[in-house]
Structure 1
Amino acid sequence: MSLRTALTRLGIVAAGGALVVGAASPALAGDDWGHHDGHHPKFYKGRVTAPGGLNLRDKPTRGSAVIGFAHYGKVVSIFCKTPGENVKGNNLWYLLADGTWAWGTARFIDNIGPVPRWC
């Protein structure tokens, strides 16, 4: 094998390993608006609009276990969005990264800034 071929293969392996490590590691909450791919922030922001606050769940459904709570007006960190159970005409749920990774219905979280990416 030529030196050029060996270096090319090494570069491909190194790049692939970096992609796997980057994809498997969620961003840290302290780096809210850092750009990891040049286009999207690691975390997005939203404000809780549910009058009595919002139950945060372990799955994007109303019947799943409540694992947290966000008070009305709280600004939350959103990692991504996914379709889930429909809540008052909105089937989107946000994966929140405020201490515990938990799901909150997008029906009661208003975006601040860009719309979150898909999970």
Structure 2
Amino acid sequence: MFGRTLRNGLVAAVAAVAVFPVTAVAATATPAPHHVTAHHVTRHAVGQVTTRHFKRLNVRSGPGTGYRVVGSRRVGRTLPIVCKTYGSNVYGNHRWYKLPHHEGYVSAHYVSNRSAVRWC
């Protein structure tokens, strides 16, 4: 009787593996490395608009004053910054900050960094 129960259990286990092979393999496999299963989290640098003579900072479509204005930001506003790049000269400063989500670029001359900004 014990042998028949063991044999029936073994047949049931083999049948389950045959029907659900992915489940059986996933249950016995080692977990994937952390970098494969983790979601990519992007952390942006942070800066604050500090224009002196103007109430708003122009956001441009590219890193320079020759690019069209696509928006603006108020003085004192905190900005997320993706990266920095070289562009046209603004009072001796050739650095421009790229904003996330294709919002545009702002001159670094008018932004005070709160954290390090990587190069694009």
Tell me if 1:47 matches 2:52. Answer: no
Q: Tell me, which stretches of 5 or more residues in structure 2 are unaligned? A: 1-35
Corresponding residue for 2:98? 95
Query: 2:70 aligned to 47, 62, 67, which one?
Result: 67
User: Is the Cα–Cα contact under 8 Å of residues 68 and 100 in structure 1 kept in the other structure?
Assistant: no
Number of residue pairs the alignment of both structures matches: 81
Name segments (4+ residues, structure 1) moved above 6 Å: none
How far residue 101 of structure 1 moved from its aligned partner, in angstroms, is: 2.0
Q: Return the letter of the residue paired with 1:109.
A: V
Query: 1:109 aligned to 108, 111, 117, which one?
Result: 111
Output the CA distance in 2 between the equivalents of 1:110 and 1:100.
Answer: 21
How far residue 100 of structure 1 moved from its aligned partner, in angstroms, is: 4.8
Corresponding residue for 1:58? 61
RMSD of aligned residue pairs (Cα, Å): 2.1
Q: Tell me, which stretches of 5 or more residues in structure 1 are unaligned? A: 1-17, 28-33, 37-41
In the superposition, the TM-score normalised over structure 2's length comes to: 0.61
Tell me if 1:79 matches 2:59. Answer: no
Residue deviations 1:49-81, cap 9 Å, x none? 113220000011112110110000000000000
User: Is the Cα–Cα contact under 8 Å of residues 81 and 92 in structure 1 kept in the other structure?
Assistant: yes
> Quick check: which has more Rg, 1 or 2?
2
Output the CA distance in 1 between the equivalents of 2:57 and 2:83.
Answer: 17
Output the CA distance in 2 between the equivalents of 1:89 and 1:112.
Answer: 21
Output the CA distance in 2 between the equivalents of 1:106 and 1:65.
Answer: 17
